[in-house]
Structure 1
């Protein structure tokens, strides 16, 4: 029984017999389901951030550089696309050395760090996360943590796992900043309200 590339026969067979599916059956199933969930969630991850900006009519505390690097709309996007299309036939034909391929893949980690570090620095400098969406950041952190699990299950190359661990680390820093600075902001608001009354 194959549905959307997921083999459900071992799990359904075990459940019919009143048994819990074995680890070697369950882990690939969870990995596939998580993969599909991550793809679906990635299409909506920026929606809470957009809604927060629209509701508050403010981008206070958001790093423009971080968003530009995360969603590049410049000439570099076109250059990158041309390079991908130029290299793709060679990669798919197996004509590129695996080490070169991993080096090319690893270069995207620099872009990812360049997108996260400006936001982390701005939060630290301002001691505030401004209009940064808690839900979007939580989804980013949860998604990167789930990708660690799925990458280990499919024996992903080290460079891919390294990138995902960097994502967990940087997304974790941003989430901790949100929790830390918002708690401080609430405490400061309570103190101001007491002084006024």
Structure 2
């Protein structure tokens, strides 16, 4: 009897949150298990809750993950140290993941961040061209990319093409990061590369390994994020390695301006 009273009180307390929890985080069976039966050690439900929570956190974080990079470029009015070829390959990987996820009807929480990453990456690509004195090429790049995106996401594109695009993610991610790593190595510094954006991308790709396995069960997507994490880790290590040289370079530039 006492147990029934506790369950009823818990149910009335959780009622205002039930709709949100069932819509975005957990199925009804897990809602009952965790919040009515207080079985907080129910592993399958905890995995679902953790995966959904991480997915939503990644999506929210992705809205701003490359914003520090964009602001840094705009503040310096320079795209120094950033590779446009790397941006193009990254866009190929992002577009492939988005098209593959939409075609397979994966939940938005499993891939939503790529939408915001795409918009920010396109902006960075345009700024590289703009600050390099090639604004016309920058606008052409925007028109061509969004035109191709509409075609890829439309029903006209066969599923086999979408799957091939997703398969190309691995080489695209690897080559894009290696190009950026080579640029950093050649310059001896990371230029206008934002440390905040680099570390957020690294953390996000690591978390996506778990959420991909949990929410989609798609080995291809999960393996893509494993490779992406390793490549993002290389760039993150370079940011740490060149930290002092980048700081010294900024001091020298300030001295030259004063002179």
Q: TM-score, normalised by structure 1?
A: 0.75
Q: 1:29–1:42: structure 2 CA closer, same or farther, 3 Å change rule? A: same
Partner of 1:53: 73
How far 1:59 moved relative to its partner? 2.2
Judging by fraction of residues, say which structure has more helix: 2
Structure 2, unaligned stretches of length 5 or more? Answer: 1-17, 92-121, 123-140, 252-259
How far 1:164 moved relative to its partner? 0.6
What's the CA shift string for 1:105-160, capped at 9, x where partnerless?
21233333343232111011112111110110111001100101112223532211
Looking at structure 2, the residues matched to 135 and 174 of structure 1 have their Cα atoms a distance apart, in angstroms, of 12
Q: How does 1:28-177 map to 2 (within 5 A)?
A: 28-69=48-89, 70=91, 71=122, 73=142, 75=144, 77-87=146-156, 91=159, 102-154=163-215, 156-177=217-238
Q: TM-score, normalised by structure 2?
A: 0.59
Q: Structure 1 residue 11 and structure 2 residue 31: aligned?
A: no
Q: 1:84–1:109: structure 2 CA closer, same or farther, 3 Å change rule? A: farther
Looking at structure 1, the residues matched to 63 and 56 of structure 2 have their Cα atoms a distance apart, in angstroms, of 11
Q: How does 1:173-188 map to 2 (within 5 A)?
A: 173-185=234-246
What's the CA shift string for 1:27-80, capped at 9, x where partnerless?
100101111111122121111111112233332211122234433635355235
Structure 1, unaligned stretches of length 5 or more? Answer: 191-197
Q: Structure 1 residue 21 and structure 2 residue 44: aligned?
A: no
What's the CA shift string for 1:64-97, capped at 9, x where partnerless?
2223443363535523531431356x65xxxx7x
Q: Which SS does the other structure have where 2:191 is aligned?
A: coil
Q: 1:128–1:45: structure 2 CA closer, same or farther, 3 Å change rule? A: same
Q: Answer yes or no: is the 8 Å Cα contact 2:40–2:46 preserved in 1.
A: no
Q: 1:41–1:50: structure 2 CA closer, same or farther, 3 Å change rule? A: same
